[in-house]
Amino acid sequence: MKAFLQSPVGVIEIEETNGFISALRIVSEMKQTDTILAPVLDEAITQLKEYFAGERKIFDLPLAQEGTSFQEKAWDYLNTIPYGETVSYKEEAISIGSPKGCRAVGSANGKNNIAIIVPCHRVVNEGGKLGGYAYGLEVKKKLLELESRQKNLF
C-alpha cells in the first residue's frame, strides 16, 4: 500500500509492507492515495508533516529495509546522527568499523530506500561539501537547511 504527501522538497511516496514502512521516495507526481490507509502510513504522514513544520526531530515508525549486512550497518548508523548535524562519509565509515570504506558507505547510503526517515541526507563530504544524494543536491540542501534553522530555534 502507498500514500503520497506534498512536501517542501516535492511529492513524497511512502510505501508500507505488512505494517512496516518499506520505502520513502521523492517522486515526480502525486498519485491517488487509497481512501483507507494502513495505520502506519497515517502515522508516517503525520510524523513527516511534523518534521517539515519543525516539530519533530526523531521518527518513531516501524521500518523494514533489507540489504547486505554492511548496508544495514550503514543505515543503522544514520539513525544515530542527531537532527541538525552532519557527519562525513569518513566518520560514518570509521564508526561502523570500516575506516577505509568511505566509498562503500556512500554506495550503501545511496541504496537507502527510506529517505528522510533514515537520514542519509546528514552525511556529507569531508570539509562540509554536500556530496551526493539520490534525489539531488537541491533536495539534500533543503533538508539540511530545514534542520539547521529549526535546531537554532531551541
Paired with 20 in beta bridges are 17
Residue 102 annotated to the active site: no
**Coil, strand, or helix at residue 43?**
helix
User: Of 120, 124, 139, 146, which residue is the catalytic one?
Assistant: 120
Q: Which residues, 6 or more positions from 69, have their beta carbon under 8 angstroms from its beta carbon?
A: none
CA angle 135, 117, 119 (to 5 degrees): 65
Burial profile 116-143: b = 16 or more Cβ within 10 angstroms, e = fewer? bbbbbbbbbeeeeeebbbbbeeebbebb
Q: Which residues are catalytic?
A: 120
